[in-house]
Amino acid sequence: MAGVSVDSGGKGGRRSLDSEINMIPMIDLLVCCISFLLLTAVWSHMARVNADAQVPGPPSTDQVEPQTPEKMLHVTMVTTSDDEKFVLEWRQGKTSVEAPIDVPRPHADRVAPGTCPAEPVRFTDLAKKIEAEWTARGTYRGAEATKRDQAVLHTDNKVPFCDLIAVIDAIYQPKREYPGAKKPVPAFNVTFSVN
């Protein structure tokens, strides 16, 4: 039992060459492996979405000339009682450089204030529009660029966190190659507007 027979003859009165590989240690090892892997298994995979606060570094004596502010994509979440939409606007400092674009928010994503739907919130139209905007007007589109475009998120203070994450998720939709990165990285950095 629990053996593998290797028949290799045994004629002429000589001792049989039948040998048995003992399978019990192998089965024990497999069972131990399974027990260990089942006990240490992680069934819920967590991930993260990043946001950068854009805190300025310490003052440098090298910088003499004032830098012109970079073009940034401002994503505003309009949540009034009669209208819910997103507004995309490219701004350089406080100056608008492109006409604002309205993206309607689908009715299916709307829930009562302060609550979240059972299914994950996805703003697919917003993601498509942001990707199109970056492809057309993004500053750092080349694979060699070591900086990334900046997106600023403006929201009402009462917006639930699930909606915030859905908007950040949509902003991270466009991706590009990045020097030194093994896989494509999001084309935008996201930060929050202080309002």
Q: What residues make contact with other proteins under the rule CB under 8 A?
A: 1-2, 23, 26-27, 30-31, 33-34, 37-38, 40-42, 44-55, 114-116, 120-122, 124, 127-128, 131, 155-162, 164-166, 168-169, 172-173, 175, 186, 192, 194
Task: Tell me the one-letter amino acid at 142.
Answer: G
Q: Which is nearer to other proteins, 89 or 166 (CB)?
A: 166
| Minimum separation from the CB atom of position 131 to other proteins (A) | 8
88: burial class by Cβ within 10 Å (0-12, 13-18, 19+)? buried
Rounded-to-integer distance, Cα 153 and Cα 77, Å: 8
Q: Which is nearer to other proteins, 89 or 167 (CB)?
A: 167
Rounded-to-integer distance, Cα 56 and Cα 104, Å: 34
Q: Which is nearer to other proteins, 127 or 140 (CB)?
A: 127
Q: Which is nearer to other proteins, 29 or 97 (CB)?
A: 29
22: burial class by Cβ within 10 Å (0-12, 13-18, 19+)? exposed
Query: Any idea which residue has 């900086």 for tokens?
Result: 147
Two structure tokens written together for 62: 């090298």
